[in-house]
Structure 1
């Protein structure tokens, strides 16, 4: 007996970081806004649609963005602020289904199949979600709806910005066939170039291609997968409550750091960031890893275990600082272009869990809590540890 069709929604916030900045400062509305690293080695995190008209894109070096759009307003990311707005958006999702697969702060898949008994259609749910996000945050979300993840995501992409599109089973070929083959999931640059060499440039071209040509370009296994995807088949489930894999923060320096005290101050700054995020998500980490990049691009990674799983900044910094010091003293002329710290190996926290006698002292936990509340209210960096002050003026 065939399964009833699923109802999948893909929600993607439009130019999320830049839109939050415009929301908080209405004077930015109508101007090109670019959020990203502001130094010589910075990269663009998000550009609003006014800036994209000049060819500015995410992951572009900020220096290139400045050449293309010198009149833009350039803003350093406020990750804690974006996380707070994201939490409001995900609260909206939870009102319609527990089946939420978050892909990032601003993007998620929702399986609302079980909610159709309460609402007349997937479009009704999608419209309610879109309107609720707008009412509670002042931001636009693009919403795609279909019977699988591939097509739901395509719906949000094709209708951006401020999009709303449902792709029904009998409309799949009409939407897919004209699209460049590089738009298809699993087709990277190498596969795209190989397909172009055998005359396959659109999804429709691939479906019309003979097996020999397609197998020659990408191999028999990938060819079979692509044929299924190109007719809109996708059985991937929405994976709810996917465990957090890692939480990281890093910084690329405009001028290489050759002073250990300054490097330690930057390490503390990153530990404050990841600690706050871990506490905000109510998870405890087992592993602390540091990322150390020498100029020009030689990257070293070191990691160690916390004595007990935790998320207190002093505990994280103690491990990260030790790893940094060991690496530093192993090199005759240490210099850093980039420094980062990542937490992983998470245990979900439970209110009734037994307290470990070796856990961080209550005073340290209280200081983290006070710092988190002040920074949440007044903005990231409003309250920092004294050691971080050495990084001020060096951004």
Structure 2
């Protein structure tokens, strides 16, 4: 029996919540994010997207593209509260849920009370519409890759089913940027070779893909042939803990940047302590004034968790980094975790 996997994705979630709370915004270009000139768009309504605005776009650019846009600050507490109510509805459908973000999840409904993915999707959509006044898009298929691809097929407020009988024909016109495992650099590299669609990609031998993409080449080869055996994971282990900040003014003054690093080290150390975990890979992240991102990582041969330990490693990395232009963002994170175990000494 084939699995029945749903990928549920809320439509323009932050903006939709703002419009639900303030109906006068309906039909207008609503843009949610950092409202200062150095802020970044978190999400926007579909009316704003018509002007070319999208998530992760600098706010100053969004204002140029959509001067009539309504710019609102992020109210994360409100979105989190709404998300919790939506996930409660998911849990009434199936206990096998893999959250991907605050507004996105995989659901395995193979053994649920719903006989088809369409019935489960309609039930979820109706409940969310009736109880929260929001819309979502749902992709249905027999694996995660195809379900996620389907959810984006006819947004917003859509349902799309991809069956085995549709493979591979339905995938052929899709741009390779939609294929799981192909990042921006890999897409550019393949585009330079004349590979733009899945149909182009389909013609490449497995050994060739492995040669240019490594192990991910084998994954990509399978995905475009409808093969994806990943389970819906109900527990997703946190891979890193970090903090970053967009600076009020660009700077290349390392003494100033170290003040932020010190603050981040304190916050990250506090999170590690609250979760009783240690890490040994520290990553420094920064973004230049022209939005070019850089990351540098250092893996220790021992585990750390305190503010002082994290700061010393991050400080050493920043001082050793050659920075030739002003930065607009700085951040650090720690990963490669293990759980701390405090053993109680026996009296006898």
Aligning the two structures, in what range does the TM-score lie when normalised by the shorter sequence? 0.7 to 0.9
- Distance in 2 of aligned mates of 1:131 and 1:13: 13
How high is the TM-score relative to the length of structure 2?
0.75
The one of 23, 36, 45 equivalent to 1:39 is 36
Tell me by how many angstroms 1:79 deviates: 1.5
Q: Which ranges of structure 2 fall in alignment gaps of 5 or more residues?
A: 320-325, 341-348
- Distance in 2 of aligned mates of 1:295 and 1:226: 32
What is the match of residue 138 of structure 1? 133
Tell me by how many angstroms 1:227 deviates: 2.7
**Which residues in structure 2 correspond to 1:1-395 (within 5 Å)?**
4-115=1-112, 118-207=113-202, 209=203, 211=205, 214-215=208-209, 218=212, 222-246=216-240, 248-255=242-249, 338=329
- Distance in 1 of aligned mates of 2:333 and 2:216: 34
Relative distance call for 1:210 and 1:98 in structure 2 (3 A) is closer
- Distance in 1 of aligned mates of 2:310 and 2:236: 30
Contact 1:92 1:132 in 2 (8 A): yes
- Distance in 2 of aligned mates of 1:25 and 1:71: 18
Q: Deviations over 1:91-122 (max 9, x none)?
A: 1111122211111101111111121xx22212
Q: Deviations over 1:110-146 (max 9, x none)?
A: 111121xx22212111211122222222111111110
Tell me by how many angstroms 1:319 deviates: 7.5
Contact 2:287 2:330 in 1 (8 A): no
- Distance in 2 of aligned mates of 1:270 and 1:127: 46
- Distance in 1 of aligned mates of 2:125 and 2:305: 42
- Distance in 1 of aligned mates of 2:82 and 2:156: 19
Tell me by how many angstroms 1:292 deviates: 8.9
What is the match of residue 322 of structure 2? none
- Distance in 2 of aligned mates of 1:149 and 1:292: 31
- Distance in 2 of aligned mates of 1:305 and 1:223: 35
Relative distance call for 1:26 and 1:251 in structure 2 (3 A) is farther
Q: Secondary structure in 1 aligned to 2:168?
A: helix
User: How many aligned positions are there?
Assistant: 331
- Distance in 2 of aligned mates of 1:267 and 1:148: 44
Tell me by how many angstroms 1:89 deviates: 1.3
Contact 1:244 1:346 in 2 (8 A): no
Relative distance call for 1:319 and 1:164 in structure 2 (3 A) is farther
What is the match of residue 363 of structure 1? none
What is the root-mean-square deviation of aligned Cα atoms in Å? 4.5
Q: Which ranges of structure 1 fall in alignment gaps of 5 or more residues?
A: 308-317, 349-395
Contact 1:206 1:214 in 2 (8 A): no
